[in-house]
């Protein structure tokens, strides 16, 4: 484990990230960050596990929406259409 690393949180990476403005980053610090992640065994392992978890998360079936929510939206869509039809008729 590299010095300054606790669990999967890499203090070295955090220190580099702290020098980087997230709105207007210095390209050299971004490169340093990317190189660190590519070369640090803990970062590599952690990112790989996270990526695997995210991949499962992506394919995780979403729970259905409630009947109430569904009927509220359908009613609004149909209500809008009725108003549209009425305004078209008036025009």
Look at residues 69, 81, 5, 67 and name the one whose alpha carbon lies nearest to residue 40: 5
* 91 is a contact residue toward another protein (CB under 8 A): no
Count of residues in the chain: 91
Taking the least distance from each CB to another protein, the nearer of 51 and 87 is 51
Partners of 5 in the beta sheet?
10
Smallest separation, CB 18 to another protein (Å): 4
CA distance 8 to 23: 25
- List the one residue from 38, 39, 45, 86 that touches another protein (CB under 8 A): 45
Helix (H, G, I), strand (E, B) or coil at 54: helix
| Tokens found for residue 89 | 């008729």
Q: Which residues bind another protein (CB under 8 A)?
A: 1, 7-10, 13-15, 17-18, 20-25, 27, 30, 33-34, 37, 41-42, 45-51, 53-54, 56-58, 60-65, 69-70, 72-74, 76-78, 80-82, 84
């Amino acid at each position: 484990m590299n010095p300054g690393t606790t669990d999967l949180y890499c203090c070295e990476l955090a220190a580099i990230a702290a020098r980087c403005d997230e709105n207007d980053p210095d390209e050299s610090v971004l490169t340093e960050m990317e190189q660190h992640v590519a070369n640090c065994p803990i970062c590599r392992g952690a990112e790989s596990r996270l990526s695997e978890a995210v991949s499962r998360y992506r394919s995780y079936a979403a729970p259905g929406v409630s009947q109430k929510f569904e009927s509220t939206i359908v009613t609004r869509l149909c209500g809008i259409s009725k108003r549209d039809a009425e305004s078209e008729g008036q025009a």
